């Protein structure tokens, strides 16, 4: 028998609706700070306790709220911006004061203190689990102060899904820094557990705010863009080709000063960089798109993180062409940038030793060997295999079922300066040199973690600037990084000091290593466990240190690479799961030529 249909109570409906807007403390911070911006505030202060999980307070000097309207702030669908349906397409602000307040109030305790500039007294309103406790006169400065406590107290199931305190704190700081990027005219200050965590004073030039939020590294490697197409304006900052990240999270898009995510615009950015940065590396960018409110729908997503453009093709075209043209004229720190990936024939490859180099082999990278030439026979790889059976390895005592051997293979050469080609009696074998090197470095990092790791102290400790949100994430990983030979210290609110590097990564700049680790720590949803985050960090470092595609290798370097690959566990795939080798059997080749 089917169950009867009932109308949910207002209390249950509010809790369900809150889930669309209030996912975590960062959602509350975002909504409250946006309301402060809508209220015309020029100074906004945020106070967090336990990463925002215990309490959140937002104080602004905005216009305040009239006493008669205070109770309406907590009513669903109450607004001062929309009076008929068509108005939703022309709302130019973030929303309206109280847009998210009913949702926030339904899952927490909220105290609102507000006063308009010309009023003699202010108003205090207190709510608990969505129910108004009191609305009374109160003395307070002009503006609005909102305190949120007992977050998710009446919906404990949702509280269980919160991450660690440092993770939630980092997400709160990320939400604030995004808003700070779009509003250089507003002063922002964040206090965490009684200590200053982020400060961004008012500035006239957007580039000054970019430096404060994105760090000096990005500020020193950026290109200014400015373009107009019909009624669409594009301004912002993009990174030069030598400054890259390990994921696309450093691409910030603002539509009418609202931070949004849009796959089409992100693709337009990446398409402009496609042939001028390394594979699986991403640029950093802060883009501001301004267009008439009626040409963009901001109500696609409940939290307004996605938008729909009236003319998405024009937006894509403007972004892609503007960035491509700006990059074409950009200069890197090494001079004018040229659209070319192929290295010169005599270029040295990081991690390898050329026979013509004037340095001892042992002083170079991962594959260097003393007396390497003695290991090369007339038939380069016709030697006994050292990895027909790989012993038990790793902490999980997993035994390899298959390994790569080269005893019966003959090296033919490189294809596209990326793939190593071998011949056997039964067909052809192709090896992806970058994927192979990635796996070798990863397993060596894992094997030598702890006391066995060999580190190299930097002559001068290097300071790397990060965002406050990234700094918060690093605090729980200092011991782990020391295990892999990377000794760091948190330096102030927005910097990391690097003191030592693992020798296996010594050819990589400290700034690049820290930047990649920060990117991996920021990928919260994809990495629910601590172990998975650590694996991601190691894989990212291995990818950064590995020999790149489109690099010319000598026969000696190929021999060393194959020897190391034989001795490496899990040598069938790279750390990202891509195959290291592809086999073409003789019968498959004969079928292609219609011989069978």
- Asked whether residue 67 is assigned to any structural domain, the reply reads yes
- Asked whether residue 4 is assigned to any structural domain, the reply reads no
Same domain, 101 and 241: no
- Asked whether residue 292 is assigned to any structural domain, the reply reads yes
Same domain, 179 and 242: no
Average pLDDT of the chain, as a whole number: 79
* pLDDT of 380 over the 50 cut: no
Same domain, 179 and 244: no
- Asked whether residue 41 is assigned to any structural domain, the reply reads yes
Q: Given this model, what pLDDT does residue 134 score?
A: 92
Which of 534, 522, 532 is closest to 173 using CA atoms?
A: 522
* pLDDT of 186 over the 90 cut: yes
Same domain, 246 and 173: no
Give residue 349's pLDDT band: very low, low, confident or very high (50, 70, 90): very low
Q: Given this model, what pLDDT does residue 370 score?
A: 33
The torsion defined by the Cα of 554, 560, 563 and 569, in degrees rounded to 10, comes to: -110
Contact present, 281 and 297 (Cβ < 8 Å)? no
Q: Count the helix, strand and coil residues of the chain and give each as a percent rounded to the nearest 5.
A: 35, 25, 40
Give residue 65's pLDDT band: very low, low, confident or very high (50, 70, 90): very high
Tokens 């200050």 — which residue? 189
* pLDDT of 80 over the 70 cut: no
Same domain, 469 and 580: yes
- Asked whether residue 5 is assigned to any structural domain, the reply reads no
Contact present, 171 and 48 (Cβ < 8 Å)? no
Same domain, 443 and 574: yes
Q: Given this model, what pLDDT does residue 103 score?
A: 84
Q: What is the mean pLDDT of residues 91-114?
A: 75
* pLDDT of 384 over the 70 cut: no
* pLDDT of 85 over the 70 cut: no
Last residue of a domain, one of 172, 202, 232: 202
Last residue of a domain, one of 316, 336, 356: 336
Domain encompassing residue 96? 10-202
Same domain, 246 and 353: no
Give residue 364's pLDDT band: very low, low, confident or very high (50, 70, 90): very low
CATH code of residue 67 = 3.30.565.10
Contact present, 198 and 493 (Cβ < 8 Å)? yes
- Asked whether residue 570 is assigned to any structural domain, the reply reads yes
CATH code of residue 313 = 3.30.230.10
**pLDDT per residue as tens digits for the range 209-257:** 988 888 878 888 889 999 999 899 999 999 988 888 888 888 999 999 9
Q: Given this model, what pLDDT does residue 179 score?
A: 95
Same domain, 15 and 112: yes
* pLDDT of 122 over the 90 cut: yes
CATH code of residue 465 = 3.30.1540.20
Residues in the chain: 596
**pLDDT per residue as tens digits for the range 283-338:** 999 999 999 988 887 766 555 677 788 888 999 999 999 998 888 776 544 444 43
Q: Given this model, what pLDDT does residue 512 score?
A: 86
Last residue of a domain, one of 202, 237, 266: 202
Maximum average pLDDT range among 36-40, 80-84, 488-492:
36-40
Q: Given this model, what pLDDT does residue 269 score?
A: 93
- Asked whether residue 105 is assigned to any structural domain, the reply reads yes
* pLDDT of 79 over the 70 cut: no
Q: Given this model, what pLDDT does residue 168 score?
A: 92
Same domain, 442 and 577: yes
Q: What is the mean pLDDT of residues 436-457?
A: 85
Looking at per-residue pLDDT, the higher value among 418 and 338 belongs to 418
When divided into structural domains, the chain yields a total of: 3
Same domain, 103 and 28: yes
Q: What is the mean pLDDT of residues 182-190?
A: 95
**pLDDT per residue as tens digits for the range 543-593:** 888 998 888 998 888 988 988 988 888 888 888 778 898 888 888 888 889
Same domain, 446 and 473: yes
Q: Given this model, what pLDDT does residue 113 score?
A: 96
Contact present, 440 and 504 (Cβ < 8 Å)? no
With b for 16 or more beta-carbon neighbours within 10 A and e for fewer, the 300-319 pattern comes to eeeebeebebebeebbbebb
Q: Say which range, 81-90, 476-485, 573-582, 583-592, has the weakest mean pLDDT.
A: 81-90
Q: Given this model, what pLDDT does residue 475 score?
A: 81
- Asked whether residue 1 is assigned to any structural domain, the reply reads no
**From residue 418, how far is each of 299, 343, 355, 356, 540 by CA, in Å?**
46, 12, 20, 22, 20
236: left (phi over 0), alpha (psi -120 to 50) or beta: left
Same domain, 285 and 403: no
Give residue 404's pLDDT band: very low, low, confident or very high (50, 70, 90): low
Looking at per-residue pLDDT, the higher value among 124 and 596 belongs to 124
Give residue 376's pLDDT band: very low, low, confident or very high (50, 70, 90): very low
**From residue 397, how far is each of 157, 393, 439, 536, 565 by CA, in Å?**
37, 5, 18, 20, 19
């Amino acid at each position: 028998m089917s169950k009867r249909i009932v109308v949910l109570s207002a209390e249950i409906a509010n809790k369900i609706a809150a889930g669309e807007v209030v996912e975590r403390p960062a959602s509350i911070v975002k909504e409250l700070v946006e309301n402060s911006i809508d209220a015309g505030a020029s100074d906004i202060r945020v106070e967090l306790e336990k990463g925002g999980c215990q309490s959140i307070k937002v104080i602004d000097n905005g216009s305040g709220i009239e006493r008669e309207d205070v109770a309406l702030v907590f009513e669903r669908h109450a607004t001062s911006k929309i009076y008929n349906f068509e108005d939703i397409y022309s709302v130019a602000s973030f929303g309206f004061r109280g847009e998210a307040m009913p949702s926030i109030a339904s899952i927490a305790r909220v105290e609102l203190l507000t006063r308009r500039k010309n009023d003699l007294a202010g108003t205090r309103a207190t709510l608990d689990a969505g129910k108004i406790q009191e609305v009374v006169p109160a003395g307070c400065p002009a503006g609005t102060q909102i305190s949120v406590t007992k977050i998710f107290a009446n919906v404990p199931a949702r509280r269980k899904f919160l991450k660690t305190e440092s993770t939630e704190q980092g997400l709160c700081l990320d939400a604030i820094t995004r808003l700070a990027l779009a509003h250089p005219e507003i002063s922002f200050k964040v206090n965490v557990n009684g200590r200053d965590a982020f400060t961004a004073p008012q500035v006239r030039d957007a580039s000054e705010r970019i430096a404060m939020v994105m760090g000096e590294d990005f500020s020193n490697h950026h290109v200014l863009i400015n373009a107009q197409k019909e009624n669409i304006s594009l301004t912002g900052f993009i990174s030069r080709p030598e400054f890259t990240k390990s994921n696309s999270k450093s691409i910030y898009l603002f539509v009418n000063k609202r931070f949004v995510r849009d796959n089409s615009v992100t693709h337009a950015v990446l398409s402009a960089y496609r042939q001028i940065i390394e594979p699986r590396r991403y640029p950093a960018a802060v883009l501001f798109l301004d267009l008439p409110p009626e040409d963009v729908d901001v109500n696609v997503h409940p939290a307004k993180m996605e938008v729909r453009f009236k003319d998405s093709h024009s937006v894509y075209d403007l972004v892609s062409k503007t960035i491509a043209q700006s990059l074409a004229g950009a200069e890197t720190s090494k001079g004018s940038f040229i659209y070319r990936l192929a290295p010169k024939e005599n270029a040295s490859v990081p991690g390898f030793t050329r026979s013509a180099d004037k340095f001892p082999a042992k002083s170079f990278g991962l594959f260097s060997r003393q007396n390497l030439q003695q290991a090369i026979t007339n038939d380069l790889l016709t030697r006994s295999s050292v990895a027909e059976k790989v012993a038990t390895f790793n902490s999980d005592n997993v035994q390899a079922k298959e390994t790569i051997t080269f005893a019966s293979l003959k090296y033919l050469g490189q294809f596209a300066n990326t793939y190593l080609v071998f011949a056997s009696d039964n067909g052809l074998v192709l090896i992806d040199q970058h994927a192979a090197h990635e796996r070798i470095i990863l397993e060596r990092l894992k094997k030598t973690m702890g006391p066995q790791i060999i580190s190299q102290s930097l002559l001068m400790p290097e300071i790397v600037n990060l965002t406050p949100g990234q700094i918060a994430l690093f605090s729980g990983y200092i011991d782990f990084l020391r295990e892999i030979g990377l000794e760091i210290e948190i330096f102030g609110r927005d910097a990391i000091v690097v003191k030592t590097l693992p020798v296996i990564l010594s050819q990589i700049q400290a700034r690049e290593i820290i930047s990649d680790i920060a990117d991996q720590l920021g990928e919260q949803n994809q990495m629910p466990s601590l172990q998975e985050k650590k694996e991601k960090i190691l894989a990212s470092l291995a990818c950064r240190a590995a020999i790149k595609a489109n690099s010319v290798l000598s026969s000696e370097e190929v021999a060393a690479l194959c020897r190391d690959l034989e001795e490496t566990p899990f040598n069938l795939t790279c750390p990202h799961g891509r195959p290291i080798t592809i086999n073409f059997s003789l019968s498959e080749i004969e079928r292609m030529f219609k011989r069978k």
